[in-house]
Structure 1
Amino acid sequence: MHYDFVPISERKPLKWPNGKRLAIILTTNFEYWDAVRESPKMFYPGGPSIVGGDLPGNVYDNPNYTWREYGQRIGVWRMFDVFDAEGVPSSCTVNAKMMLERPQVIHAALERKWELIAHNYVQTDLLTDNMFDEAAEREVIRSTLKVYEDFCGFKSKGWLSSSLRSTLNTVDILAEEGVLFTCDLLNDDQPYMVRTRSGKPMVSVSYTSEVNDFTVFMRQGNTVNGGIDVFKEQFDWLYAESAASGRFMNIGLHPHVIGQPFRIRALRDFIRYAKQFDDVWFATREEIASWYANNHASHVATGKQ
């Protein structure tokens, strides 16, 4: 993997299709966690916990497991209701075990023709566990992509690593496995091309750890109104900048966090706010990546991709 350092001051204006200025990506993460593992090693939960204190992998952590499962049983359906009522799509990430263990959620997204992006095999495993074993990392990626294709009937065009913990080999492996875009690189408000050792195209369409319900509500402790303020502040500044060159804005959403009754209004009210702007594009990452792969030369000069 290699990408050139091209600051935004050295790029040409980015012009989205159909005169749009700001692309909005509402990312809903469909994630499954194992209740226990065979190993007595400390169990990495794959996200913040609601009750502190780490337990060994072979000890069941009831409050944290069932809190996360609330998102699968209740929270995600509340989110579906909001998206349906407001008439906007979500770009969804999904790990392989979520497809195997909670298929009703994935079928609901497929029925809505929403985007699904491969998101590791299970939330509690990290690609960085295989930092020094590329063959093992490739097997995790291949196994994930196979479950995805078997379940959906088509191949995943994108990838988000669990907890964003990718390795220096991940992008190269993904390109060789036929994936078009990665969400792991958190360093931009615009897409860009990543060079791969195979020469196959790879587009970065960044996820975010900042405008993310984990960060906004759990780490920063915002109320629902405080969360709305964060989302709107991000939107307003990017929208102003997009008058000169297009931007995208991503919000990372987790059903067990934003899907709580006392937080869901933040999602609904932000969508209603953004819908007031005719030149905002509620986009999928695949739409952005496919378009950019064909049009990046008009944005970043050859040799600076």
Structure 2
Amino acid sequence: MALDPIHLQYAMRRHGMDHDRYAWSMLTDRPAVRWPGDKPLAVWVNVSLQHFPMNPAAKVKLPGSMTMPHPDLRHFTLRDYGNRVGIWRFLDAFSRFAIQPSFAINAELAQRYPALMDAIRARGDEVLGHSWSMDTPHHGGLDIATERATVQQSLAVLREASGQPVRGWLSPGKLQSTHTPELLKAEGVEYFADWVNDELPYRFRTAEGELWNLPLATEIEDRFVVMDNLHDEDSWARQVIDAFELLLAEGREQGGRLLTLSLHPWVMGQPHRVKHLETVLAHIAASTEVWQVAPGQIIEAFAAQQDAA
């Protein structure tokens, strides 16, 4: 039986890709980027502060979620360790090496750890929305009203707790439904970091208006390398530094590049691992060719160049 021709018809079929969320282009074909101070490399360091419920109810289980029969104290308390102990090692290291991080925060965590939120608020570091908890994934099939309420509640709590407009968003597990970009834009979010298919920001179209995607790399994320790929901590540090050096070289030759680093205090905040984080931060801090700033500043600088082009 022949396949009905209707199955081969798709109105969005075109050169490059079959959607209109963003313009198709190759990185090497784009105009050279110039970061402030003519620095060849911008660096964004993001810390995810997360609450993993002990008895997750969502059908979709996110990386790091409980895996043992309830009560999974073994994994719950390890995640909790990051918010009680590991994060303070992070904050100390950021101060010593003059690194300006951002924090993607589950709104439920902001309520559970007010002292931690006070510390972040006092530092003035940029805060990103990170949904309600690690049990509220944004995924296909999720009811739009439920997702809208989650986005609204999460942003309302974080904006109150941080005293910031909260312009950025990182979805738990970097998962999205088909509605997520529109819901974010409707609530005043200006950029998200879920799509990792580039090394520079790009404009992202939604029915509510334009967003920016600021790719937050997965391949050198601490949890992905150490927990999923089972590489040791020294290997993780070498991989980050290798990425740093390559992007720096490309930035000198081809125009500005961007290194993004995703961290979790329950992973690299461990006493046997934190020295490897410090090695990475020291390497970044030692370079005079780096523009190391908050993600909102990267978006502003990049957007200004694109608008002027």
1:103 — aligned with what? 114
Post-superposition CA distance 1:209-259 (Å, at most 9, x none):
111111221222222321221111110111111112211111111111000
1:3 aligns with 2:22: yes
Aligned equivalents of 1:222 and 1:132: distance in 2?
34
Task: Give 1:198 shift.
Answer: 2.4
2:82 — aligned with what? 71
Aligned equivalents of 1:101 and 1:121: distance in 2?
12
Q: Is the 8 A contact 2:127 2:162 kept in 1?
A: no
What residue identity is the alignment partner of 2:87?
V
Look up the SS of the partner of 2:269 in the other structure: coil
2:47 to 28, 39, 43: 28
Aligned equivalents of 1:232 and 1:194: distance in 2?
30
1:205 — aligned with what? 214
Aligned equivalents of 1:213 and 1:42: distance in 2?
25
1:177 aligns with 2:184: no
Aligned equivalents of 1:204 and 1:148: distance in 2?
21
What residue identity is the alignment partner of 2:238?
D
1:114 — aligned with what? 125
Runs of 4+ in 1 over 6 A off after TM superposition: none
Return the TM-score normalized by structure 1.
0.89
Mean CA deviation greater in 208-217 or 285-294:
285-294
Structure 2: runs of 5 or more not aligned = 1-19
Q: Is the 8 A contact 2:48 2:104 kept in 1?
A: yes
Whichever of the two has the greater Rg, that structure is 2
Aligned equivalents of 1:42 and 1:13: distance in 2?
44
Q: Is the 8 A contact 2:121 2:163 kept in 1?
A: no
Counterparts of 1:180-195 in structure 2 under 5 Å? 180-195=190-205
Pairs aligned (count): 289
Aligned equivalents of 1:192 and 1:43: distance in 2?
28
Aligned equivalents of 2:205 and 2:59: distance in 1?
36
Task: Give 1:293 shift.
Answer: 2.7
Q: Is the 8 A contact 1:42 1:54 kept in 2?
A: no
Task: Give 1:66 shift.
Answer: 0.4
Aligned equivalents of 1:99 and 1:36: distance in 2?
19
CA RMSD of aligned residues (A): 1.9
Counterparts of 1:281-300 in structure 2 under 5 Å? 281-297=291-307
Return the TM-score normalized by structure 2.
0.88
Post-superposition CA distance 1:149-174 (Å, at most 9, x none):
22123321000101111112211221
Structure 1: runs of 5 or more not aligned = 300-305
1:140 aligns with 2:140: no
1:232 aligns with 2:251: no
Q: Is the 8 A contact 1:21 1:279 kept in 2?
A: yes
Look up the SS of the partner of 1:202 in the other structure: strand
